[in-house]
Amino acid sequence: MTDTSPVLMLMKRPDLFGLEGLGERYSLQSEPGPGIAVALTGGNEGIDAATIDACPDLKLIAVCAVGYDKVDVEYAKARGIAVTNTPDVLTDDVADLALALMLSVFRKIPHYDQYVREGRWASEGTPGLSRSLTGRRIGILGLGRIGLAIAERVRPIAGEIAYHSRSPKAGAEWRYEADPVALAQWAEVLVVAVAGGGGTKGLVGKAVIEALGPEGVLINIARGSVVDEEALVEALVSGKLGGAGLDVFADEPHVPEALFGLESVVLLPHQGSATRETRAQMAKLAIDNIEAYLGGKPLLTPV
């Protein structure tokens, strides 16, 4: 079905969501302006207050991501504009990737892969030892949808699991820590799964990083803004923190080069939800929200 409603298209890589044909369905606009009721954007792109202001008729911002930290939601709501996101459909893939990062750091998988490819196994012999993930104390910072899925995945291998959110979660069987520093002090692995945005900016600061310590490992699949990146780099380079598995960074796509040479660190280019299956589901949910709005029906996943 073709709908002539203009849609402000802010996603930079619609092809990575299977949305390259969307122009056949809607009249896609690349610039804000009057007459546009719907904006479609991604988690990285978001939409700022100036762009919202430049669309006086805007009624819906559909975010094709679960994280909406790059959307000025308060401002949008004050202007009577609804915001939708794509929760749940990406939870499994992001949780899988968190587990993959843990295994990659502890078992040095990327490092050893490179060792083989460079011919060093043959020339230098068997490399040194890695560390076990099984039996570790795993702390989860942010027991939301993804945090919970991570807890479920590590349940069979973790020694113990504990978590911190702003409040204990009803029905959660894991031990609650009221303070992120106390959680980091206890944990051998700290997995960051909180929402991004102003409320969590720098939540993982120097104190949390140093509490995790020289044997500890930080995994971040949430948002780069949650971690004090300067403190993280300093701690990893100086050995005050044992290792890190990072999918997200403060200033993507720029990653601190000081990390490039560290064996203890695994770096990914923000791949949490980036599978064909999940991206297709995210795109479908974002479009279903737009269709619900255009059809005068209740939004499926309002923020």
Q: Is 38 in the site for ligand NAP (CB under 6 A)?
A: no
Burial 69-81 (b: 16+ CB within 10 A, else e): bbbbbeebeeeeb
Length of the chain: 303
Burial 19-35 (b: 16+ CB within 10 A, else e): beebeebbebbeebeee
In the chain, % helix, strand, coil (3-state, to 5) comes to: 35, 20, 45
116: Cβ contacts below 8 Å, ≥ 6 apart: none
Q: Closest CB to ligand NAP among 117 and 166?
A: 166
Residue tagged 């700290």 (tokens): 190
Binding marks (x or -) toward ligand NAP, 259..298, rule CB under 6 A? -----------x-xx-------------------------
Min separation Cβ 91 and ligand NAP, Å: 6
Nearest C-alpha neighbor of 182 from the set 194, 190, 173: 190
Give the Cβ contact number of residue 50 at 10 Å.
Answer: 9
Amino acid letter at 131?
R
Q: Is 147 in the site for ligand NAP (CB under 6 A)?
A: yes
Instruction: Establish whether 111 is a catalytic residue.
Output: no
Judged by CB under 6 A, which stretch of 23-31, 192-200, 211-219, 288-296 contacts ligand NAP?
A: 192-200
Which of 58, 158, 193, 250 binds ligand NAP (CB under 6 A)? It is 193
Nearest C-alpha neighbor of 149 from the set 229, 232, 93: 93
E-assigned strand segments in 95-141: 137-141
Catalytic-labelled residue, pool 25, 145, 270, 291: 270
Min separation Cβ 165 and ligand NAP, Å: 3
Give the Cβ contact number of residue 96 at 10 Å.
Answer: 17
Instruction: Establish whether 270 is a catalytic residue.
Output: yes
Distance CA 220, CA 294 (A): 37
Q: Are the beta carbons of 240 and 214 closer than 8 angstroms?
A: yes
Distance CA 180, CA 296 (A): 43
Which of 145, 206, 240, 284 binds ligand NAP (CB under 6 A)? It is 145
Q: Is 153 in the site for ligand NAP (CB under 6 A)?
A: no
Which of 28, 82, 109, 195 binds ligand NAP (CB under 6 A)? It is 195
Distance CA 39, CA 36 (A): 8
Tell me the site size for ligand NAP, rule CB under 6 A: 29
Instruction: Establish whether 137 is a catalytic residue.
Output: no
Min separation Cβ 146 and ligand NAP, Å: 3
Q: Is 70 in the site for ligand NAP (CB under 6 A)?
A: no
- Under rule CB under 6 A, which residues in 243-262 are in contact with ligand NAP? 247-248
Which of 14, 46, 142, 245 binds ligand NAP (CB under 6 A)? It is 142
Tokens of 136: 């570790």
Q: Closest CB to ligand NAP among 127 and 168?
A: 168
Min separation Cβ 156 and ligand NAP, Å: 21
Judged by CB under 6 A, which stretch of 53-61, 123-131, 190-198, 207-215 contacts ligand NAP?
A: 190-198
The residues annotated as belonging to the active site are 223, 252, 270
Kindly list the residues in this chain that would bind ligand NAP in the complex (CB under 6 A): 66-67, 87, 90, 94, 142-147, 165-167, 193-196, 199-200, 203, 221-223, 247-248, 270, 272-273
